[in-house]
Structure 1
Amino acid sequence: MCTWTRCLGVGVWGVWLGMAPAWGQSGLSGEALKLYGGRYALDCANPQSPRVQVQAAAVVVEQGNQRLTAQSLQAAHSYFGQSAPPGFLVALLGQVQSRHEVVFLVKGDARGQYIEINGDKTVMANLGALGKRPFRSCDAAINQRAQGYLRQEQQARVAAAAPVASGTANYPSELIRDAQFKSVYRRALGQLASHPWLARMDGPAPELKPEVVAGTNYMLAAFCKPHDCGDNNAVLLYDAPQGRVYGLVHMGGRNTVVGSPPGPVMAELNRLWRREWRQGK
């Protein structure tokens, strides 16, 4: 059986015995420690329960007289980018023995705040069954704050999915919630609608802006794929009164036209695309 000493080696035990580490001087800020620090356990009512101690300079997993210490801590609020799972609060990134990666995912649910552990194969082998269990915060105030955050997140998620009245959108992520636009846009996209970033229009984007093309008033929407704006981006021209959408999608190194734009509009789409995504080049 793989014990923590045998799998990780004796070098890490010096840290457990209180010796100063030779690596990683980073750590959690005072604010992060206030929000996510303290004792987490499988059973907070049992002093002997396996537990996780989140400290400024280290996160320590303890079971009996065995300890696994992660240092070089960093708090990553955008660990999942724009696709964070429900209840995600922060990822605490650390290293064991300065070479084994470990992530402590801090989340919230209806019961409060808890931690899930994920790490490289060596770390997870050492933790065994503990690596599959959530450790609940033992601080009542922290749990209440997490419950409040979860309620706010749920309210924001409902608001973000609510319909938007025609003509009131300020960003592409709001425009896609305009039922009239969405119907026209999805028809124009055709098979391109299978790409989530195009279908949802929820990536990085500037505000919508008016554009006059060939004597017609359009609304210009420019948006891109999260974390990959340079290679996956788009510009759209929306004529609300006539229910028309024309666009240019750049994906996979090539441009694809959306909505069969007439010649003058096609030329303008190319110019607008260069202006928005190639700094006018």
Structure 2
Amino acid sequence: MRFIHACPVALLLIDHPARATEPPQTADLLLEAPYRRAYVVMQRFPDWVSRGQATSTPVTQVATGGHAYLLGHLCKPHDCGDNQLDIVFAADGHAAWGLLHVRPDAQHPFLQSWLGNPDEEIQTLLLRNYATHNPP
């Protein structure tokens, strides 16, 4: 009978050290050095994007789904082939969405990143704009 009562306590003691060695939660790493710094760096846009120092085209006015937009294309000065940004602004300026295209050189495919959480309709505009500025 005593053995039965001792088993749950023994199991708790055995289980406790295993909990201490569990890996941290990913979200917790975002708050701890050096992971916090690496996370912040990962979120940074290239300088030519964040500073708006880019070669660009005139915007095009487009309408889709009953809404008016301004559609534009930017690229990194002296490196347009490998660093581009397609951008859509709501005509009244209340929102913007983008598609960033970056690659190390022409032998590699673009790494593409959606910016501003565009819906499917805006994604289509951005992809179409990219194709217009990058014919096959």
TM-score, with length taken from structure 2: 0.59
Preserved contact between residue 192 and residue 198 of structure 1 (Cα < 8 Å): no
Matched ranges for 1:157-176 at <5 A: none
Closer, same or farther: CA 242–224 of 1 in aligned 2, 3 Å: closer
The one-letter amino acid paired with 2:132 is R
Among 109, 124, 128, the residue aligned to 1:267: 124
Among 35, 49, 58, the residue aligned to 1:198: 49
The one-letter amino acid paired with 2:127 is N
Structure 1: runs of 5+ lacking an equivalent: 1-189
Point out which structure has higher relative CO (alpha carbons under 8 A, 6+ apart). Answer: 2
Deviations 1:173-218 (A, max 9, x none): xxxxxxxxxxxxxxxxx9243x111012222111122122332111
Matched, 1:219 2:76: no
Distance 1:241 1:196 in 2: 26
**What's the secondary structure of 1:217's corresponding residue?**
strand
Instruction: Provide the alpha-carbon RMSD of the alignment.
Output: 1.9
Matched, 1:237 2:109: no
The one-letter amino acid paired with 1:264 is E
Structure 2: runs of 5+ lacking an equivalent: 1-41, 104-109
Distance 2:119 2:87 in 1: 14
Closer, same or farther: CA 210–240 of 1 in aligned 2, 3 Å: closer
Closer, same or farther: CA 267–205 of 1 in aligned 2, 3 Å: same
Closer, same or farther: CA 217–192 of 1 in aligned 2, 3 Å: farther
Distance 2:70 2:120 in 1: 18
Matched ranges for 1:143-182 at <5 A: none
Matched, 1:249 2:100: yes
Relative to its length, the structure with more strand (as a share) is 1
The one-letter amino acid paired with 2:95 is R
Deviations 1:74-126 (A, max 9, x none): xxxxxxxxxxxxxxxxxxxxxxxxxxxxxxxxxxxxxxxxxxxxxxxxxxxxx
TM-score, with length taken from structure 1: 0.30
Preserved contact between residue 208 and residue 222 of structure 1 (Cα < 8 Å): yes
Alpha-carbon shift at residue 240 of structure 1 (Å): 4.4
Matched, 1:258 2:115: yes
**What's the secondary structure of 1:238's corresponding residue?**
strand
After alignment, is 252-261 or 238-247 more displaced?
238-247
Distance 1:215 1:259 in 2: 20
Distance 2:48 2:87 in 1: 14
Alpha-carbon shift at residue 242 of structure 1 (Å): 6.1
**What's the secondary structure of 1:269's corresponding residue?**
helix
Preserved contact between residue 97 and residue 117 of structure 2 (Cα < 8 Å): yes
Closer, same or farther: CA 247–196 of 1 in aligned 2, 3 Å: same
Q: Which portions of structure 1, spanning 4 or more consecutive aligned residues, are displaced by more than 6 angstroms?
A: none
The one-letter amino acid paired with 1:217 is A
Preserved contact between residue 214 and residue 265 of structure 1 (Cα < 8 Å): no
